[in-house]
Structure 1
């Protein structure tokens, strides 16, 4: 005997939970299945615990400048305390997710789900669920390279549960996760090295952001090894010996892989059900998140579109509107703000300079750099940067990039006028809030330079 539902959601992360709740509120009979913990990657072992670790790592820098404000600080860091408090907060959030589902009338399962066709989901416990619609929202998992000794390395999943803080760590990668954890560990006093097969971190970001972050990371003692990668790992006493692709060897207390993520689609019966997957294993979907099987949909990281929690939430909401509220809804992917919670922080939305220069005949670039006010009483030399990119003819703001304290908070608000098609003149009409870093966005006067057909000129 099968339980019958209008919708069965597989995956209890941000996208799946939003889709389940909204669909139930639109009158659908909904079930959701999660094999690990409700809240998904973001809440359990991603954005939320990472941001808590970021906050912890920043106290070190604040203590450095505290004497310039008259404070005498004698502080020491205790890793077990951070872990215990982090775990308590994650458990609280997990409980909230389940309560929200229950309040919405969603039937909640703690189980593993496998597709048995276009309308059937089999649970590991033996129960079978029938569904008019199935939504796959199983997210992604950290990637480990297929090298000898890979099991000796950790990923971001394990980094949140280390029993002791290592003295030394090697992090492989050059994206969000790699640079964020590099600055977290360095801020907590760990001797940190980053190895990356390319020649610069944060591929695809504006070059001023990439250069600025690398400079500041180096000033914090983080070492970079570019142009090669980890070829193998082996045990070396209490540490891990790393063999690099160019022949060198070195030993570290911990080695962390931050070289990307892959979709969680293995062993789910997707291909047997006729669902098309791409080369990475991601589910191929149309603009309404529908797969090659009309009754099966997918949202979030499992689709390899934009692997960001707010995007997954928006996709889950759009699915519910489309399927159960008779309001076909698509998600705009052309203007997604994002933050890198490194130290210093990055906030960015729109086009980086090199891309804007390729797409437009002429662009104006406004750049300002200055010491953050919190550092002006100290001898710290780090600079904050704010950068606006506009299309010359219309003045439309097509890119904004912020580097420094509060960048993530600021970029969220910048994304609103940019989404409305704001021009530089619209920014100029705003009255500045003083003294703030954000006021620079509305007080930039003449362009720093102009790029016409790829050629940089003065203005």
Structure 2
């Protein structure tokens, strides 16, 4: 279908200006297409305005607080042990300003590339047209191909409606001017764990309601245990195997009813119980786009949907709820559509990070897949407390794991738990993507002292003796 198109004159409409949408737009514009983005919140979408950018800024501030709180072990002293405190109003003003500036920077870059930005809501019509409702009326955008990148919104519980004052979803917490004294976080997945860790670091007393046996269900079990231990040591209360049935306002706080018949009370409650794709009532099924039972758009490895010349990227696809994946899906979609060189998305090469304190990063095959026999692999785990740089940095928690294919020694995965794990995972991700041998990693000289030294040491221990 796409081979018959004149790429230089191709018109592309993008519904949603988040990472999937704006990255796709930049690629398409660079390849000569005429591009229109439709976005109703602001360029960057929820990822920039209410999700990734503000939440990670909040987390960075909390990380500073945690390092200050543990600095006494290094010889740093304070006349008043409680001298450091978080001015949440200033923290939130800063992070919202950064989010706005990031959105403006992205918009300016798109405009320089010749992309048209149309502010409004869109609906897919036949023949790849978009019906766009703006503040000035309705406009029909003509296109030869469409990328849908509409994201997702917070899921709600039937008995717990966010009000933006005491009961919040993750887009509303930046309304707070005072630090919650006693915060109840419902949901121990990535979002719940990140916010629980952040507010714990900022000084709130946090209770985390977890429906599973461990915080971060589905993640590396050792990593989840390190995180849970660290959070409990810093005063967090974790309620495992517990579900919230309802949340209600009290006079000056909230009351959460649990599935065992008990209740807990706090000053505020944050709901982090998943997300729902923004795919309803935008004309997808009428246009021939197949949705999964969960409402996500079904896509293949190059972001194609089941409708000709309709692609999709980001959280609305349910592939991985990561801004980096949304961006990659968008870039792949446009490269495929416009005939540029492209490689299908390979999820086993995707590095992800959980921005808790400590951070948790992973890539490739999991240890559970090795233990279950799905992959034949060897595992080496090194605690960071034996790393000289970690000792100097007063790092108490964390480890490095590297997985190699049994027999061949090819790096197939890894996990890093510790400060800046999001940076430390990169050499392992590079090794996985490029199918490097453990000796390739081990024989690359690392700085001494450095945290990356533990990655090289793990690789050395996975060395396969040549026959």
TM-score (norm 1): 0.91
Farther off after superposition, 408-417 or 427-436: 427-436
Distance 1:145 1:290, change over 3 A: same
Q: Which residue number corresponds to residue 49 of structure 1?
A: 54
Quick check: 1:93 aligned with 2:102? yes
CA distance in 1, matches of 2:19, 2:384: 38
Give SS of 2:345's match.
coil
Paired residues for 1:90-239 under 5 Å = 90-124=99-133, 125-147=137-159, 149=161, 153-239=167-253
Deviation at 1:376, TM superposition (A): 4.4
RMSD between superposed Cα atoms in Å: 2.2
User: Any stretches of 5+ residues in structure 2 without a counterpart?
Assistant: 1-8
Q: Which residue number corresponds to residue 454 of structure 1?
A: none
Give SS of 1:310's match.
helix
Q: Which residue number corresponds to residue 3 of structure 2?
A: none
Distance 1:103 1:171, change over 3 A: same
Deviation at 1:336, TM superposition (A): 0.8
C-alpha contact (below 8 Å) 1:5/1:129 kept by paired residues: no
CA distance in 2, matches of 1:202, 1:143: 18
Among 71, 86, 106, the residue aligned to 1:77? 86
Question: How many corresponding residue pairs?
Answer: 444
Distance 1:197 1:117, change over 3 A: same
Give SS of 1:127's match.
strand
CA distance in 2, matches of 1:376, 1:28: 53
Q: Which residue number corresponds to residue 457 of structure 2?
A: 443
Farther off after superposition, 380-389 or 108-117: 380-389
Quick check: 1:292 aligned with 2:292? no
Give SS of 1:160's match.
helix
CA distance in 2, matches of 1:50, 1:148: 22
CA distance in 1, matches of 2:289, 2:115: 25
C-alpha contact (below 8 Å) 1:118/1:293 kept by paired residues: no
Among 263, 279, 291, the residue aligned to 1:265? 279
Give SS of 2:349's match.
coil
Distance 1:30 1:199, change over 3 A: same
CA distance in 2, matches of 1:54, 1:36: 23
Give SS of 1:156's match.
coil
Distance 1:267 1:88, change over 3 A: same
C-alpha contact (below 8 Å) 1:345/1:408 kept by paired residues: yes
Deviation at 1:5, TM superposition (A): 7.2
Paired residues for 1:318-397 under 5 Å = 318-327=332-341, 329-359=343-373, 362-371=376-385, 376=391, 382-397=396-411
Farther off after superposition, 143-152 or 95-104: 143-152
Q: Deviations over 1:87-120 (max 9, x none)?
A: 2211211111111111111111111111232422
C-alpha contact (below 8 Å) 2:389/2:451 kept by paired residues: no
Q: Deviations over 1:393-447 (max 9, x none)?
A: 1112222111111211100232112211122222221223211121011123546
User: Any stretches of 5+ residues in structure 1 without a counterpart?
Assistant: 449-459
C-alpha contact (below 8 Å) 2:301/2:346 kept by paired residues: no
CA distance in 2, matches of 1:169, 1:50: 16
Distance 1:293 1:40, change over 3 A: same
Give SS of 1:126's match.
strand
Give SS of 2:188's match.
coil
Farther off after superposition, 18-27 or 357-366: 357-366
C-alpha contact (below 8 Å) 1:121/1:128 kept by paired residues: yes
C-alpha contact (below 8 Å) 1:171/1:258 kept by paired residues: yes
Distance 1:149 1:428, change over 3 A: closer
Quick check: 1:31 aligned with 2:45? no
Farther off after superposition, 245-254 or 155-164: 155-164
Among 414, 428, 431, the residue aligned to 2:445? 431
Q: Deviations over 1:251-284 (max 9, x none)?
A: 2111111121121112212223332111111111
Give SS of 2:49's match.
helix
Distance 1:68 1:265, change over 3 A: same
TM-score (norm 2): 0.89
Farther off after superposition, 319-328 or 84-93: 319-328
Q: Which residue number corresponds to residue 5 of structure 2?
A: none
Deviation at 1:362, TM superposition (A): 4.5
CA distance in 1, matches of 2:375, 2:349: 20
Q: Which residue number corresponds to residue 305 of structure 1?
A: 319
Deviation at 1:295, TM superposition (A): 2.9
